[in-house]
Amino acid sequence: MSKYVLTNAVLIDGTGGEPQPGSGLVVDGEKIHSVGPSGSLPVPADAMVIDLEGKTLMPGIIDAHTHLTYHRSEYALILQQMNESLELNTIKAVESAGMILDMGCTAIGDGACRGHIALGIRDGVRQGLIRGPKVVAAGPMISGSSGIADHTAAWGYADHDAYLGMCVNGREQVVAAVRKQMREGVDWVKLTGSGTPGNPWIGGRIQDLVYDELAAAVQEAAKFNKRVHVHAHDPIGPQAAAKAGAVSVHSGEFLDEEGLLVLKEYSCVFVPTIAWLHYRTNESYAREYLRSFKPTDAQIQVFIDECQDAYDACREAIPAAHRLGTPMGLGSDAAHVFPPFDIAFEMQYYQDLGIPPLDIITCATQQSAVAVGRGDDWGTLEQGKAADLLVVDGDPARDVTVLRDKDRIEAIVVDGTFQKNTLHEAAAAA
């Protein structure tokens, strides 16, 4: 369908405005032609009209921090990189792309991949070869030596596409790495401003790349009209990233009020990942994830304690960011990997922390679009924006857990094309 009209819906436009009953929009090709009350919509003579019967019409969800190369069959990342070829990982990433789309995600920010896999998935989706969301694709993450991207064994270093990341030290090496990724065709660049809770050599409260290195990456990427996003859990790294000009900071749970205000000042989107953090406090996960290290029980407990510390901090940072007005997106760090395999579970954590459902939807749509550098084109149901939308049987503006029941997401549309369609009128016409 190149032209169609969706009418008689409760419309949530993603801007934070109140839901509008009796409303709809006109889709012409890949774009939204017009939005408004159903009775005032200009209906093209050659357009199909679909009555949504009071269902919710909302923007598609954007997962601003995920990883296509992560998968359920092996989430111990060191073992995945050592034992799984790039070719096999690509096949599993294709499966991941379909799963992510079926969750209701019409777009994602891939926050680092092995080799060029995310770029390949991006292009395969664009060319209609595979099912998946639109992808803002990074290459391997860039970290310092002993950072989280330094996944090779301690007794020998290697620089190879098989690894999820690459190591740099100092401005010159950062610039060289960014230039290489620009040549390879990335959409944005992923850097690490800290370690990760539970990491055996650089924990979540330890800073990795510092301001000068982050700023060098931002400046170099800007020459190519590309943006930088930064992984940083610790209190200092997110502030350095914001001041350096990063478009978004992922994780950031150890930010205090002062740090959150710095992100607000620099319009840097805060993208916490709370469900993932909570899952890492599970002992069975910790043993599976760390098994390549042959950890002792004491080491397992250290991992769990560090992750619990981060989870507890995240439970404070999310409400604080909302209260202070720090721009906040939605990121799962791979919802398709961790039970219950659902981006809406991340949204539920926000709701359980007291964030109003309509504000959560804005985080997951408009603000996540900004977080991946696509705020001008994606994330809201407005004239001229991409026709990326969901039709939901229920009211997520009252309770976001409606989105966890995928049977109630009756339509998923990406760039005007139905990727899922159980609407009776449209199905009959098709």
Measured distance CA(313)–CA(57) in Å, rounded = 34
Amino acid at 42: P
- Reported as a single tens digit per residue, the pLDDT across 349-390 is 999 999 999 999 999 999 999 999 999 999 999 999 999 999
Residues facing residue 11 across a β-bridge: 20, 57
pLDDT tier at 348, thresholds 50, 70, 90? very high
**What does the pLDDT read at residue 156?**
56
Any idea of the CA torsion for 156, 162, 167, 173, to the nearest 10 degrees?
120
- Complete DSSP assignment for 77-132: HHHHHHHS-HHHHHHHHHHHHHHHHHTTEEEEEE---STTHHHHHHHHHHTTSS--
Structure tokens given for 99: 């799963």
Q: What is the mean pLDDT of the chain?
A: 94
- Give the global pTM: 0.96
Name the residue type at position 34: S
Alpha helices in 127-226 (DSSP H): 171-184, 211-223
Residue pLDDT, tens place only, 69-117: 999 888 888 888 888 999 999 999 999 999 999 999 999 999 999 999 9
pLDDT tens for residues 56-73? 999 999 999 999 999 988
What digits encode the pLDDT tens for the residues 247-267?
Answer: 999 999 999 999 999 999 999
Residue range 113-165, pLDDT digits in tens: 999 999 999 999 999 999 999 999 999 999 999 898 886 555 556 677 788 89
Count how many residues are written for the chain.
Answer: 430
d(CA 240, CA 230): 10
Instruction: Return the closest-CA partner of residue 392 out of 1, 6, 99, 2.
Output: 6
